[in-house]
Structure 1
Amino acid sequence: MSNFLQFTTFSLLIIYYFTLPSLIQATFGRIIEDEEAQQLGLGLKKEKLSHFKFYWHDIVSGPRPTSVKVVSPPKNSSTAFGLLNMIDNPLTVGPKLSSKLVGRAQGFYASACQKDIGLLMAMNFAFMEGKYNGSTIIVLGRNMVFNKVREMPVIGGSGLFRFARGYVQARTNTFNAKNGDATVQYDCYVMHY
């Protein structure tokens, strides 16, 4: 009888050892099949590539700036290393601030280079026009401001841009050296469902 009890105990331990991890994993995460994704309303259809072109207006001067310095750089920094600006910048169809508003760039940029003028950009392009109203594209990357073209990754989005990925290219359109205001053309290439 003791052999039977030992065998049963050993068998139960083996079963427990091999099934417990899968039971724990099943409660933590799981693969969602296409049919279930449709039932959950995740919006996963055929993936497509979209291109958006708009102008980003960084207004640091005047009575209503859209970019506000939160942290000043040390006085001895030639690159403004440590500078941090919060932004709520208009996104327009054309280079003039008076052109049609299609969204806002909300987030921050920080001077992250000690030897060059380079920014860490973290921003949401929050759209407010047409079928994209309420959807966002998230950009996070390095912006070497004196390069003619700067490329930064699109790391996600919301609304029509769930599961988004891609990149943006930034080109300075105008920069006012006296007051610091800038207009930058953004070409955004984004894969989404």
Structure 2
Amino acid sequence: MDSATLLSFLALDFLLVCVPGADWAYAIAAGLGGRSVGWAVAGLVAGYALHTALAAAGLAVLVAGSPALLTALTVVGAGYLVWLGWGVLRRPAVPDAGETVAAQSGLRVFGRGAAISGLNPKGLLLYLSVLPQFLAVRGARLPVPAQTAVLGLLHMACCAAVYLAVGLLARAVLGARPAAARAVTRTSGAAMLGIGAFLLVERLATL
């Protein structure tokens, strides 16, 4: 793989990561809910580490080729997003100005992030539809699994940078504005709930 290919992939991947979705919503909610942005982002990245491992091992193709397995993954992931989004809507954890709020358990925040990205079928499809376009099958110095791992690591680094910036920016800009922060948090919860419902309906409609 040459540097031009890596830069081209990174540019496209950056644009995709910058499109708001469930990951953005969770990063924003974490930024407004306490000192847990790092744990939340680490969890999101860990979920994509799972996708990278599946793709490098060739299991992603197996999952995509099994309608029943992909449907089950979609239902579980969508159901989790709906549950998490509803919880955020009911209890937006936003600090009042000047008030110190106890952060949630770091491992709990990490686990939620990993579940959101790891169970997101759109993440799996990203590895199936985008990554293969940048893999060199013939005459490459690295085997395809190694190339997949390299691109997966680039995607994880891009996610870490963007989601960390989103979470920290949300805290810095809205942390001292409780009313606006609650509105944004509820919007993030609604986004997670809506994305989960959309994924569920979209997948069940294809059956």
TM-score (norm 1): 0.25
Kindly name which structure, 1 or 2, has the bigger radius of gyration based on alpha carbons: 1
Q: Which has the higher strand share?
A: 1
TM-score (norm 2): 0.24
Q: Which has the higher helix share?
A: 2
